[in-house]
Amino acid sequence: MKRLESKVCIVTGAAHGIGRAIAERFAAEGAWVLLVDVDQSSGEAAVSGIAAAGGLAQFVQTDVSATEQIERAVKVAKEQRRQIDVLVNNAAYFGDGNDALEATEDEWDRTYAVNLKGAALFTKAVLPSMLERKNGSIINIASIQGLVAGRLSVAYTSMKHGLIGLTRSTALDFGPHGIRANAICPGPIRTRISPPDGTPLHQRQVSKTMLARTGEPSEVAWAALFLASDESSYVTGAVMPVDGGWSAF
């Protein structure tokens, strides 16, 4: 039996990178997956790829900073499958990359709206369905910058720290109702926005890991699969680094 057989999962920021890898892995393990993202063409392409591989998925264009769009996406999932088992809050916005002196109010607002408020609103939207069944797994994709500081990224780092707080608070409040909440903190993962191999920034990333390499989106997806599955039924409030050892030294 596949590890997510018959489960209904929502993955935000699912058109690219880590989110797409998670959606593909969940579908391969038997889940029906709702992919949400602002990028419609890439989101639809991701769904087509899942379908071609024999999986079940649907795409809804969604800005996670907009409450009405979140509610629409959740409604689609419930109308299609009548339940929501797993939510992965992966959508993120990095911003311009500034320190506390240079970060603008707009940068703070947008980073908050996507990275933290969006996750909180999506969590709020799926909780009633999970409470009905007294079961559910919420997985927040934080960052290594939710555990340690990152240069020139004060807004992003602050919101990822906040996302870990949201995770732990949700786990505490809803654990008695059978709902689990956990966070994954990816380190340097190879995506479309990663620094090219051999550049100074790439070399710095490699030097900060124990494994002397950057990671792949699929390696984060495997961790998410464990937290989504019944194999992690006694795991909640956890913060799991997938960072090649970055946070350990």
What digits encode the pLDDT tens for the residues 66-106?
999 999 999 999 998 889 999 999 999 998 889 999 999 99
- Active-site positions read 156
For residue 42, with 0-12 CB atoms within 10 Å meaning exposed, 13-18 middle and 19 or more buried, which class applies? middle
Specify if 63 maps to a domain: yes
Beta carbons of 177 and 131 less than 8 angstroms apart: yes
Specify if 130 maps to a domain: yes
What digits encode the pLDDT tens for the residues 113-148?
999 999 999 999 999 999 999 999 999 999 999 999
**pLDDT attached to residue 1:** 83
Q: What is the CATH number of the domain that holds 220?
A: 3.40.50.720
Instruction: Count the alpha carbons within 13 Å of 150 in the hemisphere toward its beta carbon.
Output: 24
What digits encode the pLDDT tens for the residues 199-211?
988 998 999 999 9
Specify if 2 maps to a domain: no
What's the number of domains the chain is made of?
1
Which phi and psi (to 5°) does residue 128 adopt?
A: -55, -40
User: In which domain, by residue range, is 75 found?
Assistant: 8-248
Specify if 1 maps to a domain: no
What digits encode the pLDDT tens for the residues 151-192?
999 999 999 999 999 999 999 999 999 999 999 999 999 988
Does the predicted TM-score (pTM) go above 0.75?
Answer: yes
